[in-house]
Amino acid sequence: MTRRSRTVLITGASSGLGAEMARQFAALGDDLALCARRTERLEELREEIVAAHGVRVAVRPLDVTDDEAVFATVRGFRDDLGRLDRVIVNAGLGKGAALGTGRYDANRQTAMTNFVAALAQTEAAMEVFREQRAGHLVMVSSMSAMRGMPKSLTTYAATKAGVAHLAEGLRTELYGTELGRTVKVTVLYPGYIASEMNEKVEQSTPLMASTEKGVRAMVQAIEKEVPSACVPALPWAPLSMVMKHAPLPVVKRLI
């Protein structure tokens, strides 16, 4: 069966996982709607993708913490490209500090970017999908969502658990309804995949997947429209069970 091309919106698309997802979806023949704060990188990415694949690529600047801009951008992309088949809520921030150590500013910024802004993106996407009566929402969570994390990861992990539950709640709402047959929801739980966000981790763990390999696993899961997936599946699917259910002393040693 020939794969139908889609229109895919990716937030946080100027670098890392977002940029590589754009490349891989373009290689499948999809038109793209790409947004991020760094517009010069978006323009470079658009030129690269159009030259390589000849698909339509619309770009817009977006700070996802600006609620009004989020709704205007999603609606604008819908108007630019005619429809949105898939929205990938990818934009995120990795700042953080141990609670009570004087860095509430960093933890609040992460919470606002990773959860509140993701809520706005989800609201805007679902507004379009409800009007179209079709669409695919993809929420990029994290393996850190499997268990409360210590120190600089505490707030980050909490936001990633929050967005996973946000998407899962939406899936529960849609289940068994007419809209649920045409609007799909996927939550991705990436493990260590090389990107700007975790470049300091790259040298300290043997579990780090390359950006291309890690994103390929993400794209494959998205294409299957699975409800949820740990990516890459090995070693993260089995490790997710350890992270969820192992006694705290065991988890503390692992992290």
Residues designated as active site: 156
Query: How many helices and strands (H and E) does the chain possess?
Result: 9, 7
Instruction: Using the structure block, give the residue that is written with the tokens 């996802």.
Output: 64
Instruction: Using the structure block, give the residue that is written with the tokens 């937030």.
Output: 11
Q: How far apart are CA 87 and CA 148, in angstroms?
A: 27
CB 156 within 8 A of CB 144: yes
Q: Retrieve residue 48's tokens.
A: 């690269």
Strand partners, 108: none
Neighbours of 2 (CB within 10 A): 5
Dihedral (CA of 72, 18, 200, 165) sign? positive
Q: How far apart are CA 211 and CA 75, in angstroms?
A: 30
